[in-house]
Structure 1
Amino acid sequence: MNKTLTTLCLALSLGTLVACPIYPPATVVVTYHANGATGGTVPAPQSVTTGGIIIVGNTGNLVRSGYAFTGWNTAADGSGTAYAAGDDYNGGSLDLYAVWIVSLASIDLSVGSLSPQFDGVITTYTVALDETISAITVTAITAASDATIYYSLAQPMTLAMGSNPLTITVTAANGDSQAYAINILRGACFVTEWQIDNPGDSITLPLIDISNYVDVPYACTVNWGDGASSTITAFDDPNRMHTYAAAGSYRVSISGSCDGWSFEAVPASRLAITKVLARGKAPVFEGLVFLNFSGCSKLTELAGGGIPVCTNILFMNESMNRIFEDCSSLTSLPADLFRYNTAVTDFSSAFWGCASLISLPVDLFRYNTAVTDFSGVFSGCTSLASLPADLFRYNTAVNDFYRTFDNCTSLASLSLKSSVAYR
């Protein structure tokens, strides 16, 4: 770095006037690389001498035959640190390489539609079908003529009631591959996955008595994932319990009317549930109620698509208190988890003790403008290292942030845009 003589200073101790060299501010440059692109242009380098740099997206419309652009990475092979458009960068000079995944041009269905709508960079989809549909053909089209496609199940697929998972793997001529997962739901189903450790182990669905709140009887069919099924007509129906002959992972799907779900009712079963793969649609499954997944310490995955709104019971719409308390194996949350729960006022302790949660989507609470209470919502989330600045941007009615981030020991600072004082 060159020294520049910019001012004079008085060295009083020597009684002499001397020239003081001043180092100019360092220039930070972010340089973008096409990394195999076959068309388009890379964004121009960005440089600053003070402040941060906002990472740009694919502004030059880079393309690569047979691939889809998914962001930037500090390593050409994608093994470094990932950056997305809008990220705020405050480090030294940086080289960023375009990240490409092998892409399909389309996924076509003989019946139904993909959710979300097909996009080459989206690799997980759901298809919801009426229970009267017993088969479907899924056709994938490659984005490159020399790519190959593998289906995990033969086409057309014969559908069981509930969840029917299909994996489509596309492989480029150079050997790069990408898997697309499609969960085909026959009937509007609530789908969960459970881990059975030993032959003869049982699970009990955490159904609760809702007769004091709504006059809607239980009337649902459960597919237990091992070929067996049961019909349930009451919260205490013996059919809500099932014993498995072999250890393994089982997908349990519920179709019909099932309006109450709380693991306080069956604490022993809370340690067996590992994933929520689909939530169905109200009023098929409306019951995500007070304490519903509290203590499910082996729960690792929550489906996107949003929690259905409970149309029958108002207070269940207004409170998400402790909904995922002590779900200590969750590492991430879908951005649209609370998309439809616009009447909720209470998120207190919702993720209390989720010690493996490492990041939060910026739009997690975007649609929950009626919230007044975020007390303890992330208390004990000891793996959270950073927060989106706009996490609470739309929650202007909140009057309680008490212990919101209590014992979040990996957070070095709070950088949140809000006029509310955090404690």
Structure 2
Amino acid sequence: MSGQRHIIVGGGVAAASAAATLRAGGLDGEIHIVSDDVALPYERPPLSKEFLDPDSDGAPTPVKPAEWYDEEQITVHLQTRATVLDPAAHVVELSGGERLGYDKLLLATGVRARTLPQVQSDRILTLRSLDDALAVRARLAEAERVAVLGGGFIGCEAAAAAVKLGKRVTLLERTDTLMQAVLGPVLGGVMTDVHRAAGVHVLTGVVVQNVEVSPTTLVVRTNRGVIEADLVLVGAGSLPNVELAQEAGLRIDRGVLTDEHSRTSAPDVYAAGDVAAALHPHYGEHIRVEHHDSAVRHGASAARNMLGLDDPFLETHWFWSDQYDHSIQQVGRARPDDEVVVRGSLDDLSFSAFSLRDGRITRVISLNRPKDVLAVRRLLFTEYAVTAAQLRDEATQLNRLAPRKPPPRAEA
């Protein structure tokens, strides 16, 4: 592929992983990363955790050192947006007016945080990018009262970080428990209790009506009263950055639609990471996953397909979140009618909740039991059978459920 130019639009881990895979796979043409971020690709998970501590060094964790991009001859356009994509002409236009032709292009534009409509203040912040995290870190250092709007991943992680710094934290969530959309009401209730035990004032079933800004305080008005705060952090979910693809005429449905090989509806245009809704061969539907590790592997898979290799993306639906001293992990996808089987103790904060259908595990959510998640991750798309009684039994070794291959026959 000498003389070719491959362009990656986006500056996250999917983009860095794709660039590295293209070079390692033998592409000796040009590679361009177009990123509207201020820094080279970095790890986002720490931004809502230890990065917020004023005693940390305040520097992002890079995916690759700066010299790596020079050594691999990868051109990175920072603080630059791709404004127009013309798939027919194989050209992308950048915010500085430059037009770049391409042989293959990868969309890894990620997602952006939802914001509060019609309310603007440097004390009402979101947490997604490095700039966001720096702003939150600075405000958090001087704030005493913090209101977090939304009990999902970002909201819970940021609340945990803030209360550990001695802040008075109020966490407001619309549903009956924290993280209910992901964990369900029972396990979400466990995490709600964890946050309350740590000192977070958790209010559930709360609808935020508006936030009023005054020179001295922020007033969060809800259907259940008023909360005063020095800092409001909005953790109300995210939106995929599909605008460039949409304006270029690509197929969009809750993300940029791709086949299992990361190909979009436009020739030579691929998509990976948080913005991509990829067709999953096992589930038979398009799935969009917002998670660091999935983005890394998706970027690498897309790059291999850009190189002409046959590499369907078969990633299982997996995520993790660290809150206080606890690790929450999930792998797989469940249906509402799946049987839920719990191994371990909810009270002791050490358990795995398995979703079971027709003798197979469809999903597991674990608190402080990473080995269970690793075992199920290996099982998901293999042939085996298990009962609810076996799953409840601690003596059942999950890694032995899959049938073992018979040893090769010795030559006569």
TM-score (norm 1): 0.25
Structure richer in helix, relative to its length: 2
Structure possessing the higher radius of gyration over alpha carbons: 1
